[in-house]
Amino acid sequence: MTVTQQRATPIGRPLGLSEAEVAKRRAQGLTNAVPFETSRTYKRIIFENTFTFINTALFAICIALAALGLYGDAVVTVSLVIGNVVVGIVQETRAKRKLDSIALLMRPTATVIREGEERTVDPNDIVLDDILVVRPGDQILVDGEVLDESGLSVDESLLTGESDLIRKRVGDTVHSGSFCMTGSGIFIARKVGTESMAQQITAEARAFRDVRTPLQREIRLVLQVMLVLVAALSIQVGIAFYQSPDDPGLREITQAAAVLVSLVPQGLVFMVTVTYAMAAVRMAGSGALIQRMNAVESTSNIDVLCLDKTGTLTTNTLVLDSLEPIGVDEEHLRTLLGDYAAATTAGNRTITAIAAACPGRERKVVGEIPFSSSRKWSALAFDDTEGRGFYVLGAPEMIQPALRSADGLQPRVDAWTERGLRVLLFAYRPNPAPLPDGKEEPSLPQGLIPMGLVALRDELRPEAQETIERFRQAGITLKIISGDNPDTVAALARQAGFPAGIRAVSGTVLGDLDEQALIPVVEEATVFGRITPRQKERLVSALRAQGHYVAMTGDGVNDVLALKRADLAIAMRSGSQVTRSVADIVLLNDSFAALPKAFLEGQRIRRGMRDIIRLFLVRTLYVALIIFGTSVAGAAFPITPKHNSILALLTVGIPVFALAAWARPGNTPRRLVRSGSHFVFPAAVSIAWVAFVVYMFYLSRGAEVITARSALTTITILCGLILIPFAQPPNDAFTGGTSLNGDWRPAILAAALLGVYAGVLAWPVAREFYGLEVLGFLDYVILAHIAIAWAVILRFAWRLHVLDRLRAAWRRVRGR
């Protein structure tokens, strides 16, 4: 029997394809085999973490150092590159394995009929023209045409976003990605593999997505600027060496080149990776799986969060809210509703909610009409002494025309509907009406008697109100984007704590707006209902075009396009495989209650990186200025690689790890580098000036170059250590460059590092290793007083906003 003959024959039990026909289609490539990508591939993870601009720049520096014969410095640099890559790959690989295990546990199977027998097969084993069977709870895995059905209703919410069940009849199309919820059906596979609807929608999800956070973009810009600065400074130093009356020698030139190359803040990149890893560790067990390293930091930039109703506000479960008996007492109404729910064979969320609230008994059922989204009602016929008759439950507007009397119903229905409740009417007729045989469309008999109204509500997540309030306090605007009716969603949002006056907009309205007219609607409205997948993507794009940093949560195939367009993509664990694979964060408990913690961790990252960036930039700039000043003055090169290494280690290398670990959540400016200029430039310029004067003073007094360099190293270390408590002020005495922190640990660390430097000077082996010379006791006293005086002057410069005043004066000059 051919497939065509099967379709034309009244179907009881089709034979399906033979093994020979299946083998032929496999040979032709007509299978449902598609790449089973449960998450990002290992290849993509390695590529994204390895081939970045920053790693490429650091690798080039490594080659330059090796060419100069500075193999130790080259090893340090390449170690930073390897560290960046390894930490990122390890973290994201752990997330991938977790997602893969989730996907394998949730991977569906298919029931096919081949040679007259039902067989369970993997989705990849389905071929074109296969005959498939679906029953309640089964996922439809290919597009097909219904050949036979018995009350078949499917949930297409993962494709369309609409939660209503769709009735399917013989000849209708079913789509991959939908689920059989009630009844059963047999269909023939018409589109398999990449031709199916779900695969067509998700095709764009396979495109490369690389979203860099503002912090990462700033770090990249800093490195680019520093590379240019090093190149310019190298030319200046080269000219100075060329014009020098004394031959500097190859060793001196090599050491100068090493110091110049080290001005590129290589450790800054590594610290970003370290802070990301620390945040991922702190997020462990919070219910959020971090799939991309930068995802936690990204949350701190969010100012608009787009949510779906299901999974965020609600648990996707209905509960009985109220009953309104009509002509009967409430106890009798509850009994009949419980019996009705217990006897219904095609269960759904409505029946489950009624059954949970109204216990039922076993009854003699002589007929049943399953619920249909087109009819919006279901019916049962009982024939026993407990309550013989025809009972119907459904939407009031669909049942009212068949009622004997509908007086007084509508006001109560309207009142409950305005509260966001789902209202059903329960009615009956004493004698069981003749029920259709399933092939003809059912209709209601006239003369039904209303027995009561049933109000159901979506069950709000227990943490929804608290979570929404926490986001509101953080200044994050929430937008609800749903496939459901906008008014219903808006009413539910109000129950969850949204303001009473929120504006709801339908997707049909958005479809008539051009890009310019869309902007004010997107900014002002809070709820968007009846939204298509393309409209979701358009909404996210419009918000981003207005300068917003947008996070999008989703669970279905219909959310994929919007997720890829968002700055931060968040998926539900129970969602489709493709949404989990494109997401930056996966909510393992299907609850966005984990997001506020991620938001705080993101703030912690940015606060820590704010201080780290400041210390790195101050050190880089004052070293560059010292080198520039001495080259212009014609003096010997002021810093050796070993002096530079101990300076970097004590004033930046060790402190930044502590600052990252001790950082606290809190608001930070969007642009960390620009906002830090108030701290960085006065500190860098003043340290450079003090160090230059000290260095030139020693040279002018006839001191050896090593003595002058040791004095310069000492004064820069003293100033650099004082900067640590300035970066995180423990009390008001250290404020000026930034706000009060109240944490004494950075100041204690600075004092400890000063002790380390004293130990290096006192220990001959360490002193010789770093190429330092012991100065006189009076020298150290004078240098200490200079450092203290510098700190006092710098504090006043910060408090007087000298840099801001100079900027304002420059603007006035340019404006003339």
Kindly indicate the confidence band of residue 803, based on its pLDDT and cuts at 50, 70 and 90: confident
Non-local (6+) Cβ contacts of 169 within 8 A are: 146, 149, 152
Check if 219-277+602-808 and 315-460 are the same fold.
Answer: no
Least confident range from 14-18, 261-265, 400-404, 694-698: namely: 261-265
Q: Give me the helices (H) in 185-315, please.
A: 197-202, 214-243, 249-262, 266-283, 295-299
Task: Summarize pLDDT for 614-671 with one digit per residue, the tens.
Answer: 999 999 999 999 988 998 888 888 988 788 888 988 999 889 889 988 988 877 777 8
* pLDDT at residue 746 in the model: 94
Examine the pLDDT at 437 and tell me if it is beyond 80.
no
Looking at domain 281-314+462-598, which CATH architecture does it have? 3-Layer(aba) Sandwich (3.40)
How far is Cα 744 from Cα 545, in angstroms, rounded to an integer? 43
Say which CATH class 315-460 falls into: alpha beta
Annotation: CATH topology of 219-277+602-808: Calcium-transporting ATPase, transmembrane domain (1.20.1110)
Examine the pLDDT at 1 and tell me if it is beyond 50.
no
Examine the pLDDT at 7 and tell me if it is beyond 50.
no
How far is Cα 253 from Cα 120, in angstroms, rounded to an integer? 74
Q: Where are the domains of the chain?
A: 219-277+602-808, 281-314+462-598, 315-460
Cα R_g (the chain), whole angstroms: 35
* Pairing label, strands 314-325, 288-290: unpaired
How far is Cα 804 from Cα 721, in angstroms, rounded to an integer? 25
pTM: 0.72
Q: What is the mean pLDDT of the chain?
A: 83
Amino acid at 346: A
* pLDDT at residue 290 in the model: 82
How far is Cα 650 from Cα 785, in angstroms, rounded to an integer? 20
More confident of the two residues 544 and 46 = 544
More confident of the two residues 669 and 749 = 749
Q: 130, 308, 458, 567: which is the annotated catalytic residue? A: 308
How far is Cα 246 from Cα 253, in angstroms, rounded to an integer? 12
% of the chain surpassing 90 pLDDT: 31
Asked if 308 is an active-site residue, the reply is yes
Examine the pLDDT at 106 and tell me if it is beyond 80.
no
CA distances in angstroms from 208 to 43, 204, 581, 582, 703, listed in the order given: 12, 9, 12, 10, 60
Query: Cα dihedral sign for 480, 485, 486, 489?
Result: negative
Examine the pLDDT at 39 and tell me if it is beyond 80.
no
Task: Summarize pLDDT for 330-389 with one digit per residue, the tens.
Answer: 999 999 999 999 988 776 788 889 999 999 888 888 888 877 766 788 899 988 877 788
Non-local (6+) Cβ contacts of 363 within 8 A are: 339, 342, 343, 382, 384, 386, 387
% of the chain surpassing 70 pLDDT: 86
Mean pLDDT calculated for residue range 706-728: 95
Least confident range from 35-44, 62-71, 315-324: namely: 35-44
Task: Summarize pLDDT for 251-304 with one digit per residue, the tens.
Answer: 666 666 666 766 777 677 778 878 887 887 788 777 888 888 788 889 888 999
How far is Cα 110 from Cα 118, in angstroms, rounded to an integer? 10
Q: With CA atoms as reference, report the closest residue to 424 among 442, 463, 451.
A: 451
Non-local (6+) Cβ contacts of 426 within 8 A are: 333, 336, 337, 340, 391, 392, 393, 450, 451, 452, 453, 454
37-41 contacts at long range (C-beta below 8 A, 24 or more positions apart) = 37/206, 37/577, 37/578, 37/581, 38/99, 38/100, 38/102, 38/103, 38/104, 38/577, 38/580, 38/581, 39/95, 39/96, 39/99, 39/100, 39/103, 39/291, 39/580, 39/581, 40/92, 40/96, 40/291, 40/581
Kindly indicate the confidence band of residue 492, based on its pLDDT and cuts at 50, 70 and 90: confident
For residue 313 the two structure tokens come to: 């506000």
